[in-house]
Structure 1
């Protein structure tokens, strides 16, 4: 749920090398799930040998290993893809010191009681999700939505995290957030804020209106979480929900959008309210598991955050832009990390 800060220009190909590593290593999430076979071993003496399967839980540390390597140590030039530039390299979101602080905060908050329970529930939720799909999870080639989704904001925003492609997925190993996106607003220099990294109000997207992405009915909301005052890589140590203030909307059977990190007191809808596509529902904030103001958005197949499988969705109509490719207009398309995106009227 955090905004991951791309490395500064002195190591601009580092994220490309990380992508190369991810392509070569099997998804450790499936190895991690073998650890649940150890549970009967702790419940029944006759099955004590199953406790050895608990070692597979160590695979859950893989995302932290990648973060440490990419943020602190760097990678040698011999990796495949060493010359590959990440699509987000043009976005200026902090220097290496900010990235290190983010990593330290991630490690420290693993033991915060609420986040510890949240991590366990997220991981345990993978079991019913995989069982529901018999291991064949929704993908851009297998899932097609009938819902007419639009971007959940007006104006031009930047996709800082997220893509239907594994290399630049928001969180490929977290099934709920596999197809999530993080959106910010950048200026012409790729900066997300005015001046130095200061209070949330200094960020271009803070307080901007957030809109319903499609017609639907509000399922749940949270409105009372504080917006953390720091934006220099630290995360709120007193957070009570990784989503912070949020809205969950049902758009169709088994399709629920989640809009998170909203500004405290800005949510304008309540559970049971019917909303229309493009209706203002809240403002962008910095609440929950967030390192700076941004909008987290994803669609899942269940109203419960821990039990829903993430779904890939197309937005439309919109214009996409990237410094290396230029603007393109689409009636409907997926959006990818590094793109500037803007909702446009229908032709």
Structure 2
């Protein structure tokens, strides 16, 4: 009996409140068909979509992180207020709804078993989409490392920044984009492919230190989507305004510059968002677990770099693009 109860508790603890918020979709038909009015109770599940805001206010303990975060209450307060403002932004609201619908579409397409490590065979040898050494802020192939587990297209996405020896991402007080070490750095095609979608012209956010841009027009900001193989598309997002150097339909080679690291879209500070997905659409795609070739992982204690091919990475690691040959 004790083992049974422990099993139930373990399953409950793995439930993601954001995933449960999708049950709110069941309440929508009740507003069109009177006979389905009892389904309106499902609308209360939408409140669980506020979980990221609640989570941001909870105390955290992340001793293994390689990035120094400003976690005081002023940071948390700015993040909370700006998130509330973003949530009523009509452009972001439409995109959020599209992501929710996309979640259902992907689950139906894969019969409830979307791609995951062990049942996805990556065709493309992907290298890191930058040169030099960067820090993985978050992301990985496990739920506990995930960038956004409940958003199925971003399930295996990564956020990258550049840090100094103290884990800081910027000089000064971090209120100017140019103070951030990664801002303006070249973003590179991770493999040969064809550009299928680009967007430029969105401003780099004037806000920093935990605050999102409430006037953003696209959560990706400026971005580039590249097809590398059948059902394998990479996305580089939050790029610097007017920095994209490729056009839709253009062929690109591994290592070719496609833009610069920026601070556009749903971003609290300059960084690169990178993901691999199975469709060109950002909304109805399944995120794909990524392995990188030509990647070095720094051991800050020994000062050595471990090199390898076709390996996964996770948040907290410092990674370097090295020769994959």
Name the stretch that deviates more: 57-66 or 169-178. Answer: 57-66
1:327 aligns with 2:305: yes
Residue-by-residue CA offset, 1:213-240 (whole Å, 9 max, x unaligned) = 1111001111101112232222222211
CA 1:198/1:60 → structure 2, altered by over 3 Å: closer, same or farther? closer
Distance (whole Å) between structure 2 residues aligned to residue 294 and residue 23 of structure 1: 34
Q: Which residue of 1 aligns with 2:23?
A: 34
Distance (whole Å) between structure 1 residues aligned to residue 31 and residue 22 of structure 2: 16
1:306 aligns with 2:295: no
What are the equivalent positions in structure 2 for 1:10-49 lying under 5 Å apart?
Answer: 24-49=13-38
Select which of 61, 64, 68 maps to 2:53.
64
1:277 aligns with 2:266: no
1:120 aligns with 2:93: no
1:303 CA displacement: 0.8
Q: Which residue of 2 aligns with 1:94?
A: 70
Secondary structure in structure 2 of the residue aligned to 1:125: helix
Matched-pair contact (CA < 8 Å) for 2:240–2:259 = yes
Select which of 203, 206, 229 maps to 2:206.
229
Distance (whole Å) between structure 2 residues aligned to residue 135 and residue 165 of structure 1: 18
Q: Which residue of 2 aligns with 1:317?
A: 294
Q: Which residue of 1 aligns with 2:126?
A: 149
Secondary structure in structure 2 of the residue aligned to 1:247: strand
1:22 CA displacement: 11
Matched-pair contact (CA < 8 Å) for 1:38–1:53 = yes
Secondary structure in structure 2 of the residue aligned to 1:327: strand
1:101 CA displacement: 1.3
Secondary structure in structure 1 of the residue aligned to 2:97: helix
Select which of 136, 139, 146 maps to 2:113.
136
Distance (whole Å) between structure 2 residues aligned to residue 188 and residue 110 of structure 1: 36
Distance (whole Å) between structure 2 residues aligned to residue 248 and residue 152 of structure 1: 12
Name the stretch that deviates more: 90-99 or 189-198. Answer: 90-99
Residue-by-residue CA offset, 1:115-148 (whole Å, 9 max, x unaligned) = 1112111112111011011111111121120101
Secondary structure in structure 1 of the residue aligned to 2:197: strand
Distance (whole Å) between structure 2 residues aligned to residue 231 and residue 30 of structure 1: 28
Could you tell me which runs of 5 or more consecutive residues in structure 1 were left unpaired when the two chains were aligned: 1-20, 76-83
Secondary structure in structure 1 of the residue aligned to 2:196: strand
| Superposition RMSD in Å | 2.0
Distance (whole Å) between structure 1 residues aligned to residue 270 and residue 112 of structure 2: 35
1:298 CA displacement: 0.3
1:62 CA displacement: 2.7
Runs (4 or more) in structure 1 with deviation over 6 Å come to none
Select which of 312, 326, 338 maps to 2:316.
338
Matched-pair contact (CA < 8 Å) for 2:147–2:157 = yes
Distance (whole Å) between structure 1 residues aligned to residue 208 and residue 116 of structure 2: 34
Name the stretch that deviates more: 256-265 or 99-108. Answer: 99-108
Q: Which residue of 2 aligns with 1:178?
A: 155
Q: Which residue of 2 aligns with 1:81?
A: none
Select which of 40, 51, 57 maps to 1:51.
40
Distance (whole Å) between structure 1 residues aligned to residue 55 and residue 166 of structure 2: 28
CA 1:86/1:22 → structure 2, altered by over 3 Å: closer, same or farther? farther
Residue-by-residue CA offset, 1:246-274 (whole Å, 9 max, x unaligned) = 00011111111110011111100000000
Q: TM-score, normalised by structure 1?
A: 0.85
Select which of 208, 230, 233 maps to 1:256.
233
Q: TM-score, normalised by structure 2?
A: 0.91
Residue-by-residue CA offset, 1:252-305 (whole Å, 9 max, x unaligned) = 111111100111111000000001111111111111111111000001111111
1:103 CA displacement: 2.4
1:216 aligns with 2:193: yes
1:45 CA displacement: 1.7
